[in-house]
Amino acid sequence: MAEVERVMLRPFEWGPCDCCSAACNVFAGLWGVDPMAPVRGYIGPLGAARLMRRAGGLTALAETLAARAGLAEGHATGGLALSEDTGGQRSLLICITPGLWAGKSKDGLAILRRAERGWHLA
């Protein structure tokens, strides 16, 4: 939880600390593997939208990056997952413990009880 707070309590910034990169920043801090390494460098909401559109959407992008990083599918403490789709809005989450997930919000972090598809170190 200390790593979650260290990363996710920083100000929201598209690219360095947004609703996807923050979860990967925590994952990298815990495990030394950055699933987003191949796509780092985008700036702003337009850059994020372009990146996701080129990949076929956030789900496709997450699947591709997880595969490139050698992650296994499933949920585990310290793993990543997609949030539930709420009207076309999704983000990446980090698992605090099974059934409890943290995600970057505009004002800090949100704790969620459910997540969809997930990945963890094999």
The pLDDT profile of the chain, 122 residues, written as one tens digit per residue, is: 999 999 999 999 999 999 999 999 999 999 999 999 999 999 999 999 999 999 999 999 999 999 999 999 999 999 999 999 887 789 999 999 989 999 999 999 999 999 999 999 98
How many C-beta atoms lie closer than 10 Å to residue 17's C-beta?
Answer: 17
Which residues, in sequence order, are CB contacts of 110 under 8 Å at separation 6+? 102, 103, 104
Q: Which of 89, 88, 82, 86 is nearest to 118 (CA)?
A: 82
Alpha-helical segments (H) within the chain: 2-8, 21-31, 44-55, 58-68
Looking at the whole model, is its pTM more than 0.85?
yes
At 24 the pLDDT is 98
Give the Å distances, CA to CA, from 59 to 31, 45, 118.
22, 17, 11
**pLDDT for the residue 85:** 84
Q: How many domains does one find in the chain?
A: 1
Look up residue 55 and give its two tokens. 């990949």
| Planar angle of CA 15, 48, 38, nearest 5 degrees | 70
Which residues span the domain enclosing 82? 2-121
Tokens of 22: 């923050």
Return d(Cα 122, Cα 16) in angstroms, integer: 26
